[in-house]
Amino acid sequence: MTERTDEAVPPPTRHVTTTRIVAVRGDALEVRGDRVVGEEPLEIRAAGPRQDPVAVAVTMRTPGYEDELAVGFLRTEGLIEGPEILRVDTGDPNAMNQPDDTAIVRLSKAFDASKVAERHFVATASCGICGKASLDEVEMRAEPIPAGAPVVSRSTLLALPDALRGAQRAFDETGGLHASGLFSPTGELRVLREDVGRHNALDKAIGAEVLAGRLPLNDTILMVSGRVSFEIVQKAAVAGIPIVCAVSAPSDLAISAADRLGVTLVGFLRGDGFNVYSHDNRIDLGDLVAWK
């Protein structure tokens, strides 16, 4: 995989808005404008040749990169493979005030609508796909990631939080967005996406790689700005990402999923430390005297 960055990607539209606030600081009061993160619904649909679009899910998201979000969602939820994607259309501008609030993924083969009925999708910005009928539906049958490479140095891991934070353009304006960054094994940023939902940020980043034909992402490190849920690990595993890092804590279900799926899970990555919860063989700790 060739190295790449997101420098040429234009900023998304409507991802940040302005509102009037009354700011109180101690005994001082100021009425001023403030920048806040955008949040709007996106309806994701899919359609094969001569097939009416099938409504898959409605998710609350930060506007921008709708094509990547739709594609990433469909791929990480196991509804498409990727090569069958022809294009992504938005809604009818003559009928909708915000036509990009609908994304229709056009496929070269028929879309299996029965999978949607089986999965019972209900998506929110805070928790991703909630309300699935059973844990069996949540536990997607992702193949375990092969053991071995990449092996990442401790110094590379410790540099990831600052690299992620330094590339968060919208967070600098609002302070209210999650981020998912995909990095090379030596720490170069490849793709970064922000969203009010951490799962949406990851779907956008993975969707960008799907559209570029770069899956599986077996030589990639994922760095997320918050905690790690089961769903983050699951989506990473579906995309073939072997190392998942976060500045905060993983859940117990995320840890067990990472162990089962062959994912190296790193939490509390901040300052000069971190915890490795599963498959620590991918982290080079040979320079530490106490490491055995």
Q: How far apart are CA 216 and CA 238, in angstroms?
A: 8
pLDDT value for 285: 85
From first to last of the 292 residues of the chain, give the pLDDT tens digit. Answer: 344 445 444 555 666 677 776 676 767 777 778 777 677 889 999 999 999 999 998 888 888 899 999 999 999 988 999 999 999 998 777 777 677 889 999 999 999 988 887 665 555 444 555 444 444 444 555 778 988 889 999 999 999 999 998 887 655 555 567 899 999 999 999 999 999 888 899 999 999 999 999 999 999 999 998 888 888 999 999 999 999 999 988 988 888 888 899 999 999 999 888 999 999 899 998 877 655 5
Say how many Å lie between the first and final Cα of the chain, rounded: 33
pLDDT value, residue 1: 38
Residue 175 phi/psi, 5° resolution? 70, 15
Catalytic hit among 127, 138, 249, 253 = 127
**pLDDT for the residue 212:** 94
User: What per-residue confidence (pLDDT) applies to 244?
Assistant: 97
Determine whether 127 is an active site residue: yes
Write down the pLDDT at residue 257.
Answer: 87
Whole-number pLDDT of residue 242: 97
User: What is the predicted pLDDT for the residue at 133?
Assistant: 41
Model pLDDT, residue 156: 95
Q: Is 15 within 8 Å of 62 (Cβ atoms)? A: yes
